[in-house]
Amino acid sequence: MTEKKIRCRIAPSPSGFLHIGTAKTALYNWLFARSQDGAFILRLEDTDAERTDEQYVDAMCEGFRWLGIDWDEGPKFGDEPQKGAYGPYRQSERSHFYQREAERLLQEGKAYKCFCTREEIDAMREQAAREKRPPRYTGKCRNLTPDEIAAKGETPYSIRFRVPEGETVVEDVIQGPVRFNNKEYDDFIIVKPNGAAIFHLAVVVDDGLMEISHIIRGDDHLTNAGRHVMLFNALGYPLPKFAHHPLVHDEQGRKYSKRLHGANVLDWREDGYLPETLINYIALLGWTSEEEGREFFSLEELKGMFTLKRLTKSPARFDRKKLDWLNGQHIRMLSPEQLRDRVVPIMRKHNLDVDARQQEWLLEVVSICQEKIPTLNHIVGYTDFFFERPATYDEKGTRKFFEKEESVLWLQTAIECMQQADVWDHQTLKAQYEADAAAKEIKIGALVNTTRLALTGKTVGPGLYELTALLGRDEALARMERALTFIQQQSGDTQT
């Protein structure tokens, strides 16, 4: 017997941005499908017309693409046509399937027409509340005879699923067996009076007809799983394997609110984080490697190592410090050319005239920052002085390096170092600085930090000798002379 092909899906509702929790669910499904040579399906649950907006569809698909989560089957997106043999892949285009399957359940006696009005349902709930019972449907229409149903004529009705007696067991890969006493459920609605399918029916019909083999989703859906297993069995679909993973929590241990910055996956793109970092970090929010303590993974490594059995039950708190550390590590792993290509658009966006510079020079500028920057956006603060002389000097740095009695000596010595360098490169400059500092008994840090402030207006940045070499001799000396004049004017000493 041929083993059933692995088919996983993500089925977001396009009523907002791509939430980091949805991205986590998508990633786990995608990694599992890729690790098993299976298929990953993107399906949009867009039946709620009031909440669905095409801009959210675009934003959600764009978020998946940025992360590198591609799909084998899915709806039309941008210039990309629908692909896959199990479509359509939008619930709004699949109502005929839901109507057909609901009618089948009616014919088989597994569902029934409910003619109760909203007022009657409310009265049942109020009565239950007075009697301190759970607010369940009483089953008033459960046993209507064909004649009684016919007598209703054109009266609007919903369709309710006839919950069977006994127990429903959800065999969950992560949670273990989860048992539901069917008495805890009332006969729930699967089709509204207007003919629209309720989520429970739509999702099960979609999963069944699309032959989904594994349903990997957040554990907030665990309470729905009992209903879904009942529907799978009633419809005669093969039962998929379930895996309900914990939700993403914020740093205070609460569910990651949509209102928080970073809930939108594309917030991290705007903040200068790499998609490789987000993939790595999100994977760790509920999955552990067999290599104890390991936290850094490439996408290819995750695809080779991911297994459902390593998913954990406990929710993980979002840890910004770990995310920042991982981002730095992934930045270091880029080739200089890759880093240049990623940061040049950011530099251009901040009005740095990168297009007037040679690509090789830009490559060197970016390379000397690679070990320093925690995010791509930091490249601006680490390189803007290459494109324009500093208009001001850091206030704290000025007090520390420009307002000391020795400040003029430090700056003049640094100027002499530059003038005496017979070759204009970072190694020669470093050797010259160290030699002059020793000869004049000046701490090398005083020379380095004073020079950095004079050249960049800042106290932190890429390696001093490297950035000095890239500025060029004439530009570096001009900035040093300008800083010396500034110090002398500030101190009232106009002597040279």
The strand ranges marked E within 187-338 are 189-191, 214-218, 241-245, 248-249, 316-317
**Angstrom distance (rounded) from CA 170 to CA 225:** 7
DSSP assignment, residue 402?
I
Query: Is the Cα dihedral 361, 362, 363, 366 positive or negative?
Result: positive
**Angstrom distance (rounded) from CA 207 to CA 215:** 8
**Contact 274/370 with Cβ under 8 angstroms?**
no
**Angstrom distance (rounded) from CA 169 to CA 230:** 9
**Angstrom distance (rounded) from CA 285 to CA 305:** 15
**Contact 241/29 with Cβ under 8 angstroms?**
no
Closest-CA residue to 452 (of 466, 441, 436): 466
Q: Is 458 a catalytic site residue?
A: no
Residue 243, burial from CB neighbour count under 10 angstroms (0-12, 13-18, 19+): buried
Tell me the three state secondary structure of residue 464: helix
The residues, any chain, with a CB within 8 Å of residue 182's CB and separated by 6 or more, are 163, 164, 165, 166, 167, 168, 226, 230
Q: What is the end-to-end Cα distance of the chain in Å, rounded?
A: 92
Catalytic residue among 258, 313, 322, 349: 258
**Contact 202/47 with Cβ under 8 angstroms?**
yes
Burial call 346-365: b when 16+ CB within 10 Å, e when fewer: bbeeeebebeeeeeeebbeb
Residue 36 sits at φ, ψ, to 5 deg, of: -110, 15
Q: Which residues are catalytic?
A: 258
